[in-house]
Structure 1
């Protein structure tokens, strides 16, 4: 295929007028044309500028050291026997009353000197980028989009074109400060009123957050959005780096492992005509399917130091320009030659694929299968689920409500060829690629995904019982663990701290003295408690879990604080305090039960791999009338047994909520 020319051809003016006329017609049909006739380039135009609240966002608080110690010990209590707990209490108290005070004081001072960010942002980036584990299976999560509600739009090229155009509209909205800021509204109706929007817009950015706060609206941090596009994690020895290009206008497309690029934006941000994007994608599929698979991208599944060394060899062999095109591309579109038949096969597809049709280092990859199923796989170091989920929501809504391409549309007849990236390889590089592919395939043989769809109750039922849906599912997980293993295991639930400037995440520890009391009553002391007492135990678990959620959301957990204190000591080269060498601290941070949930109309489900070799990765969702979860693990038999115990436990909870005695 020939090298691509700029998509507007020889006469930019003539093409621009032609494209403008096309979009004007579309806009008139949809009733969305603005006075300037450019809304087709944006998902919307917000009255409040995108980054209006950033300067006045509150800073992530550093908890009091005594509170952190108390929360830490509360989380340890159900995991340890009496002797272990007494030992951990002594170590933790000594730390809190001794050297911990000095380190905490230094952390506060460091935070005061860096008011532009949060105390956790730098250490958290370093934690991700310093990890030498492969990003696939271990780090990169996936999110599966719902199909387009109109079946005829689920053709692979049609859906990919519509999603690409909507993604570019999102990018343009972000770049031009038109994207609505992320705001949590207590009263959404008031927050969407013109009075609120114009009032907030009139406020200077330095005080805008306070204006929103006065009417119970809470803006969220949007600093991560700058890394959503044109970004890649670059492998380096010891520690990777994040690269972002401000000016690149091309899309990276992968098919059968082959890599192609073509420009989808002109210098003014105008989006390439959808029929031309359609033609390019059809051309790529036709070209790649005639070729044997190309396994170069398997290198992105490697251990990071190994990949860093091979990448340097690629540069030395004259491939630097191609690597720059990959790194700077707006995002990666993966056109898979596969039609997964169920959610298990889709999970395998979106989480890891076949290894050779993904560039796992890209900030995110949009994956579209042969039958039009779509999902996102994203690299985790640059940001968290909040930014990715917002992007997915906007792109799904725009692509389904205002599709750029109709199913009966024909591809443009005259388009320039895409630029197919050709690489110079030597024996050492080809051997490294082969080794990476072998490692990937061996890992895949040991990697299992199972699902559960529980239909006896869902969110509506739980809320009607005045309980937290998330708390009920987490309680069920804890009791399932207890039923299977006879003890509790270190568990983790992710919680965003995006309410603060440069907030990342905090940990909710769902294993508590309340879940232990409940598990004992349901399992060890089965049949010895009145139904009213067991219902009260569930209520206690729900209330305490809500408190943990609120604390974590407000930056009042213990995990990030202890992590930052340790990071500060390590940076200064000091001796690691005893609290971090305590076996109990190491155990609680060996996360065997790692969980995360998301809920939005655009998303079908999501998931991720276990974070430790003997662990489980839970992606779950409590829908209105049912509960669904996808669980990953390298332990097939334990995984099957866990699902059995989880369903059994959910049945027990249902029986108690229905005021029926357990058998």
Structure 2
């Protein structure tokens, strides 16, 4: 079976009935509201959903759109609006990272170049297999998954726009079929270099050729002053769009330089530093030296001086599950095996040339200002890693508990103990079993969660009562996750109806935004105190992203057979609460494991 053979056979993302969405919205928001707030929200929902109300008019337009033969999913316009429409910076705010597992590099004089060459060789092999549709189509529990996102792994770049960004990518009208690019862009010391990784005849360069090319880049990067134009990709999107236009207007060579970066298969970032520990490596992968990055690029492989490596991913077309599959494949097998599979041959040192920009004083000032602003933004973000190595996924499964439910209940208990209350919690749920499926937004807090955290801290409760409350909350969590996997969740549906009203509400008879979107239910349910996502893979040590609001803790967790590894992030002003949460979380994970073991 070819890579994309299942795509046309996948069912479309289900479009929920409006009345079901309204009912679920009330159910999901209620645990976070006072009686008065819920009454206000319920009244607005009834007004929204009544026969002559705004909800049916907006939903009818969505039904018409979904029925159009050219529509793949009723979320086709939602995803660009959600990701490409955001106007703040994407660096740290939206991009995410994975820290790869260690690879033994003993005996190598230059572990950085060796590791980078291995990753490039394996990634080029992945592209070769993808182009020829020799990658196995993904399947989970017997159900095929969409492979569509794989089309955005290579030669894909987000382009800033004044109102909404766009994406430059292969498999598009402008670039039909796979990318024909033969090069990557390597960043070193703030300078960018084009390096061919596929020869003129279509064969990838051998591992030794790639090593020789990287050594030349390394030498050249040290020999010239840094341009560090990558700092510009940390700017707010409209600001970067305006600067990019000035860059293009200044000199024709700048268009060629941008074209080289934007069409490159991926970026490789060589860093001089050796991370002191896992936290330092994670922080560098998340934001690091922005002059040595191009955050708009879909995939950037980052390699440190000692060979420690990871990946930074632009999120607009790629979700974690696709990147995990890519990373698992790239990190499995020897570089010699990858080279042989791709048909790599010895061709000599690859073609290398610097990617240079012509700058005036104004653009140099913009680059310097962007560098200072982003360095401060990174410094204003507090982070911590947490590794619970007494037990992991295998142990939790042995205790007849969903590992994700176990972790999520520990988050709720720790948050209650750290802050004294339960707050809105987001979890990303994959929906790739549908045509062009991506993710669904799950809200974790339920009445069962409220009872669970209350019973856990009730000194009069017996162990049996605590276990019962724990399992009831976990079971409800699993049930809700299955709802999300089935496309039966309210938030994205209501969000898209809100966007429809903004786009052409007047023509539909809904000239003003419905009151529902100003209710305590809508605002409170989406005001995250915890934003969570998981990455089940033994190929990575840590996974991470930035917090989503001024008081949010971002929690990225890797579920490993023998441990839980977590990366937490939050704005610096509330760092103390995050550290308290981390301490409570470590204790809660152990406490809940012990509680299940007592029987």
TM category, shorter? over 0.9
C-alpha separation in 2, matches of 1:49 and 1:219: 12
Q: Which residue of 2 aligns with 1:402?
A: 337
SS at match of 2:368: helix
1:270 aligns with 2:203: yes
Matches within 5 A, 1:298-447: 298-318=231-251, 319-399=254-334, 402=337, 404=339, 415=349, 418-447=352-381
Cα contact 1:278–1:412 (8 A) shared by 2: no
1:384/1:121 Cα in 2 relative to 1: closer, same or farther (>3 Å)?
Answer: farther
The one of 276, 285, 296 equivalent to 2:229 is 296
Q: Which residue of 2 aligns with 1:627?
A: 564
Count of residue correspondences: 575
Matches within 5 A, 1:223-234: 223-234=148-159
Shift of 1:514: 0.7
C-alpha separation in 2, matches of 1:399 and 1:70: 53
1:264/1:457 Cα in 2 relative to 1: closer, same or farther (>3 Å)?
Answer: closer
1:519 aligns with 2:465: no
Cα contact 1:231–1:243 (8 A) shared by 2: yes
Shift of 1:414: 5.5
SS at match of 2:411: helix
Cα contact 2:197–2:350 (8 A) shared by 1: no
SS at match of 1:434: helix
Q: Which residue of 1 aligns with 2:25?
A: 72
Matches within 5 A, 1:144-223: 144-149=99-104, 151-152=106-107, 155-184=111-140, 186=141, 217-223=142-148
- Structure 2 residue runs of 5 or longer lacking an equivalent are 171-178, 506-510
Matches within 5 A, 1:552-567: 552-567=484-499
Cα contact 2:32–2:524 (8 A) shared by 1: no
C-alpha separation in 2, matches of 1:262 and 1:256: 16
Cα contact 1:172–1:269 (8 A) shared by 2: no
Shift of 1:651: 3.5
Q: Which residue of 2 aligns with 1:208?
A: none
1:71/1:548 Cα in 2 relative to 1: closer, same or farther (>3 Å)?
Answer: same
Q: Which residue of 1 aligns with 2:405?
A: 471
Larger radius of gyration: 1
SS at match of 1:173: helix
Shift of 1:545: 0.9
Cα contact 1:592–1:610 (8 A) shared by 2: no
Q: Which residue of 1 aligns with 2:593?
A: 654
The one of 123, 127, 150 equivalent to 2:78 is 123
C-alpha separation in 1, matches of 2:107 and 2:432: 38
Q: Which residue of 1 aligns with 2:417?
A: 483
Shift of 1:115: 5.2
C-alpha separation in 2, matches of 1:320 and 1:349: 29
1:540 aligns with 2:477: no
1:420/1:156 Cα in 2 relative to 1: closer, same or farther (>3 Å)?
Answer: same
TM-score (norm 2): 0.92
C-alpha separation in 2, matches of 1:454 and 1:401: 35
Q: Which residue of 1 aligns with 2:575?
A: 636
SS at match of 1:595: strand
Shift of 1:507: 1.2
C-alpha separation in 1, matches of 2:351 and 2:105: 31
1:399/1:583 Cα in 2 relative to 1: closer, same or farther (>3 Å)?
Answer: farther
Cα contact 2:45–2:516 (8 A) shared by 1: yes
Cα contact 1:260–1:421 (8 A) shared by 2: yes
Cα contact 1:134–1:301 (8 A) shared by 2: yes
SS at match of 1:120: coil
Shift of 1:371: 0.8
Matches within 5 A, 1:244-255: 244-245=169-170, 246-255=179-188
C-alpha separation in 1, matches of 2:476 and 2:339: 48
SS at match of 2:396: helix
Shift of 1:531: 1.2
C-alpha separation in 2, matches of 1:401 and 1:482: 51
Cα contact 2:37–2:520 (8 A) shared by 1: no
SS at match of 1:452: strand
Cα contact 2:207–2:336 (8 A) shared by 1: no
C-alpha separation in 1, matches of 2:233 and 2:125: 29
C-alpha separation in 1, matches of 2:283 and 2:165: 26
Q: Which residue of 2 aligns with 1:584?
A: 521
Q: Any idea what the Cα deviations from partners look like across 1:552-601, whole Å, max 9, x if unmatched?
A: 11211111111121122211133211111213312221222110101112
SS at match of 1:356: helix
Shift of 1:413: 10
1:531/1:341 Cα in 2 relative to 1: closer, same or farther (>3 Å)?
Answer: same
Let me know the Cα RMSD of the aligned residues: 2.0
Q: Which residue of 2 aligns with 1:194?
A: none
Shift of 1:176: 1.0
